[in-house]
Structure 1
């Protein structure tokens, strides 16, 4: 029995060692680490670990042992060290079936505080209340605000549009209870990172029509997803192989959440699913013509969209719904939105999403503050307070966000 155990242990060790070696080769063969990024060795190590966990998760999923999203969330929750701060009181609550985490400054205040509603990122695959715990702690004490973080449902059991529904329901519940939590109804900010930024933009637009609720004072979008139509923007091409959100992985996450077969990824990439009349209608907002010339590469000017494929359109047409792309909202809705603070990272496939939305808001007279991080990469804010695995750009972004929120 002991011999069998040792053989099994040796076999598992060899398997994991071989997998990690394969991951290292894959990383160096397919990944770009721009020279502008600080601590490239640290970044490469973390990306190798990321590839290792997701690859192992895909293997477990194919063996029907555990889904990849569940496995990855299990790993990052184990690794996420929840910081305890004597200045902040943390309470886990349930708004109906939706888990939320409330962060409140312990110091007494003679007046109501501002409120922050935070939607974490993760493309419906990653992210959790625990993973973003330290980020929420930081924003709470740094801005002296009451912060609510929403733990929406994710893959593999829940698909589009569950994230928006969960976050909207939690937001409405919170807005109706502001007095209970000592929040000033005139100073409520919605804030989201990555896919959470998409949710923040969606909910801000939805709440414009809700006259019976306190108005959102401002929206803070940290390298958000703003549209899922044009995958040939300059930043998507230039940063398609930059950790941690590569173009291929982004398309995979979109397909899985939107319940689109992965075989349509190439058609989506080329834009062949977009009807000519639809592109004609939305081109003025979606086209790379809206991106500054100094951010483009003349060698990367694709023909977009490709020849129309009706079969692809029928399978993917919900990507064109305005509910999925805040950029496509009508002018009347955009003009009513509150002021915005937009964060973009130079080395991010989603950089141009922020730039397109910035122009869209400004064209309708919405005040916009823009913070661009030259050495930033997608997901860097989530590395805040990860000790030896943190990055300077993480603190830059969170300090900028905190400074803006404090000005409200």
Structure 2
């Protein structure tokens, strides 16, 4: 009898699940833009649909108050098996209360090794030590370095400034104990992708005046998120529907991370959340005139600035804090930063962050090694070692980073 009663429930659940899947697929084909230059369009469509399916189910569970969307997506991601790397010693540790994962080559070395502090991406919504395990293993193995990956606290429980504080705390503790891990204090590198690249930049800026710790040797920024002010630069219009980071999902991450109401979306996209004098002040660094002409093609249209919304300004002005927008830090700070390796992707919503920061560093005399992936998109680095979902661009990014670190 109980089985008979369960049958309608199971049938309903199956029909609902199929409906969710069909909705995700239809939504993808109606909204997603797959540029021909990316190559492997089927792979990208499959990858995007899988990610959107996880996010959609996460939203459903969040509405049902079973768990939050970020918790559900990270839970499913963390079910993926970890690949074994027999030539590396991998330890899960805690620096204070913050989980970290240490990667060390097992082979003995007559010299101290470089050290890499890695801050993962994911907009403080996605991403974890497990999802970046292969990337960190490759960095450790191929550069013969000690890698420390940081599991900073994320949404939904922790928003700005918690991730910044967590990464700073781990970085300081690591720099104080380099001899314990056999790391050369003259070759410590900070590295990150997306929001992790922004965190790496902040670490460099926050430590620039600290004379009690070893100096950061270099910063490796992979399609980094470097400013939270402006959603009107060319790449936002050109790549707003390119997987894996659409404008709508980027705004979701932005508003959740900064605890800003998503209802301000239309206001923020028009630039009406900040006064004209603010835009004039930072135009010298954020203006599209700072970009090469080739990056303003593909249908770029300048979005006119909307009239100031005072209520929006009161809620969103924390975007002017350099801890959210390291791209607008003072010249006196930026000019003293370590050399940088910057990786940008043509079909990335955040592409212009990298291009604008590259120009700032170069204008102030900071050495920059720049690699632009003409077929790259946001998140492509994570496809490293993903089997069918692997994109060759991810290997080129890895090779560029490895070559840069080996040359330090």
Give the alignment's TM-score, normalised by structure 2: 0.98
Give 1:299 shift.
4.7
TM-superposition CA deviations, 1:4-40 (whole Å, max 9, x none) = 2332222211111111111111001111000011211
Aligned to 1:62: 63
Aligned to 2:84: 84
2:356 is paired with a residue whose SS is: helix
CA distance in 1, matches of 2:247, 2:86: 41
Give 1:323 shift.
1.8
Aligned to 1:71: 72
CA distance in 2, matches of 1:74, 1:298: 38
2:297 is paired with a residue whose SS is: coil
Give 1:396 shift.
0.9
CA distance in 2, matches of 1:300, 1:387: 35
Aligned to 1:2: 3
- Please show how residues 127-138 of structure 1 align to structure 2 within 5 Å: 127-138=127-138
CA distance in 2, matches of 1:183, 1:101: 15
Aligned to 1:36: 37
Aligned to 2:373: 373
Q: Does 2:231 align with 1:261?
A: no
2:101 is paired with a residue whose SS is: strand
Aligned to 2:27: 26
Aligned to 1:393: 393
Gaps of 5+ in 1: none
Aligned to 2:312: 312
Aligned to 1:114: 114
CA distance in 1, matches of 2:300, 2:389: 33
Give 1:302 shift.
2.6
CA distance in 2, matches of 1:303, 1:33: 23
Give 1:380 shift.
0.8
- Please show how residues 98-113 of structure 1 align to structure 2 within 5 Å: 98-113=98-113
Aligned to 1:143: 143
Give 1:304 shift.
4.1
Aligned to 2:270: 270
1:215 is paired with a residue whose SS is: coil
CA distance in 1, matches of 2:50, 2:86: 32
Gaps of 5+ in 2: none
Q: Does 2:29 align with 1:52?
A: no
2:181 is paired with a residue whose SS is: coil
Count how many residue pairs are aligned between Structure 1 and Structure 2: 407
CA distance in 2, matches of 1:350, 1:304: 20
Once superposed, what is the RMSD of the aligned Cα atoms?
Answer: 1.0
Aligned to 2:358: 358
Displaced runs of 4+ in structure 1, greater than 4 A? Answer: none
